[in-house]
């Protein structure tokens, strides 16, 4: 079956969106789309009719038409079957992501699915197989790829300022166990045993390394600390580069995604203090590092981030992500994040647990491109 690398589909004049899941994340998505052109929220699905009413009230209050609503256990399936929807945007609990995304693609819809897109390697293959068979886009909404500092570092890598990349670090360190919201998520962390939420740390790293675009992840080893459930996963790529991923949502420590890059000619990190250091002796920290990074904050994604900031959107990363998604669908371009990204980044959840539960033994990471990972060269945003 042909792969869907750089998949192009017919341009869509107005992207008609069906939103599945009108909880906290879904409502934020719904609110965010009032800032975007060439897109309209046309349908809402949720288990709870009251949440659907809240969603339509949000549409009305921002001057948008109300959406069709579907309530109950089969609401998502009814929404996916609607002929007047181009994109199904999935903001449900993690366990349902793959099933809904698969059904949407089978019904001829493109998909935008919250992170992680899948929980098991089998589900990752299910997404890839379905996308290849249906020739539909499966976009995972990893907003951290659109972090301003990360976008700047990506541009600096393109300019060769860090030399050859040798090692990267990413994380999701967020003290959630004192939070009252998302109790299901907290319970999931408690009993998982590995890293069930790897994509915030891994997404920007994957772009920097060009994973399945000239390199790919080969194998990992993982361990989880007793008591605090801190997960540490070390990954080696086929080209011999290393990645450290960490997850900690229980320890009362400062928020961090690390965002660390080591190269033969330089070093960059965002947390805990923005830092840039180069082989020529320049060492910049704090505001100086941010100012230098801003000089390289260029390109289409950067301009969209700046536009979102000027508009006063609640989260510029989310705005940039959705703006890029709609732009690509509207113009018939390949998406920034494809189904292979969704599978590669999500599969770390099961594989890190497998390694941690078996004495940190090495675990092979599948090649979801089936040998085509060298077909492209580096990660590129389509224009």
Q: Range(s) for CATH 3.30.360.10 in the chain? A: 145-299+339-364
Q: Range(s) for CATH 3.40.50.720 in the chain? A: 15-143
Give pTM, 2 decimals: 0.97
Burial class (CB in 10 A: 0-12, 13-18, 19+), 39: buried
Give Cα 324 to chain centroid, integer Å: 13
User: 15-143 adopts what CATH topology?
Assistant: Rossmann fold (3.40.50)
Q: Tell me what pLDDT residue 374 has.
A: 97
| DSSP letter (8 states) at residue 67 | P
Q: What is the pLDDT of residues 152-175, one digit of tens each?
A: 999 999 999 999 999 999 999 998
Nearest Cα to Cα of residue 98 among 122, 118, 125, 74: 118
Backbone angles phi, psi at 157, to 5 degrees: -65, -45
Q: Tell me what pLDDT residue 227 has.
A: 83
Nearest Cα to Cα of residue 259 among 143, 170, 146: 170
Nearest Cα to Cα of residue 20 among 99, 128, 130: 99
Q: Tell me what pLDDT residue 168 has.
A: 98
- With a cut of 70, which residues of the chain have pLDDT below it? 177-184
Q: Tell me what pLDDT residue 182 has.
A: 60
Residues 302, 322: contact at Cβ < 8 Å?
no
Q: Tell me what pLDDT residue 180 has.
A: 54
Q: What is the pLDDT of residues 224-254, one digit of tens each?
A: 998 888 999 999 999 999 999 999 998 899 9
Q: Going by DSSP bridges, is the β-strand pair 165-173/283-285 parallel, antiparallel, or unpaired?
A: unpaired
Q: Tell me what pLDDT residue 1 has.
A: 82
d(CA 161, CA 244): 22
User: 145-299+339-364 adopts what CATH topology?
Assistant: Dihydrodipicolinate Reductase; domain 2 (3.30.360)
């Amino acid at each position: 079956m042909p792969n869907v690398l750089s998949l192009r589909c017919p341009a869509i004049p107005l992207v008609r969106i069906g939103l599945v899941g009108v909880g906290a994340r879904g409502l934020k998505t719904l609110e965010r789309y009032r800032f975007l052109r060439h897109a309209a929220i046309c349908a809402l699905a949720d288990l709870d009719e009251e949440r659907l009413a809240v969603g339509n009230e949000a549409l009305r209050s921002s001057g948008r038409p109300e959406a069709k609503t579907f309530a109950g256990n089969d609401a998502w399936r009814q929404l996916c079957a609607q002929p007047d929807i181009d994109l199904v945007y999935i903001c449900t609990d993690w366990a349902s992501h793959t099933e809904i995304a698969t059904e949407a693609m089978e019904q001829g819809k493109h998909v935008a699915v919250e992170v992680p897109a899948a929980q098991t390697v089998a589900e990752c293959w299910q997404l890839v197989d379905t996308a290849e068979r249906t020739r539909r886009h499966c976009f995972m909404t990893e907003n951290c790829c659109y972090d301003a500092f990360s976008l700047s570092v990506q541009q600096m890598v393109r300019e060769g300022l860090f030399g050859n990349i040798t090692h990267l670090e990413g994380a999701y360190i967020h003290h959630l166990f004192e939070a009252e919201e998302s109790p299901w998520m907290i319970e999931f962390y408690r009993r998982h045993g590995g890293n069930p939420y790897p994509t915030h740390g891994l997404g920007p790293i994957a772009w920097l390394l060009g994973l399945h675009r000239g390199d790919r992840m080969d194998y990992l080893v993982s361990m989880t600390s007793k008591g605090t459930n801190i997960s540490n996963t070390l990954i080696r790529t086929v080209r011999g580069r290393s990645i450290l991923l960490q997850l900690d949502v229980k320890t009362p420590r400062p928020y961090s995604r690390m965002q660390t890059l080591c190269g033969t000619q330089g070093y960059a990190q965002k947390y805990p203090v923005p830092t840039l250091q180069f082989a020529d002796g320049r060492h910049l920290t704090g505001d100086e590092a941010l100012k230098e990074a801003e000089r390289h904050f260029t390109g289409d994604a950067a301009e969209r981030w700046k536009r979102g900031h000027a508009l006063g959107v609640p989260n510029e990363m989310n705005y940039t992500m959705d703006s890029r998604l709609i732009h690509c669908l509207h113009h018939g371009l390949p998406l920034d994040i494809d189904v292979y990204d969704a599978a590669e980044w999500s599969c770390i959840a099961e594989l890190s647990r497998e390694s941690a539960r078996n004495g940190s033994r090495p675990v092979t990471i599948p090649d979801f491109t089936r040998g085509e990972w060298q077909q492209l060269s580096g990660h590129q945003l389509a224009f």
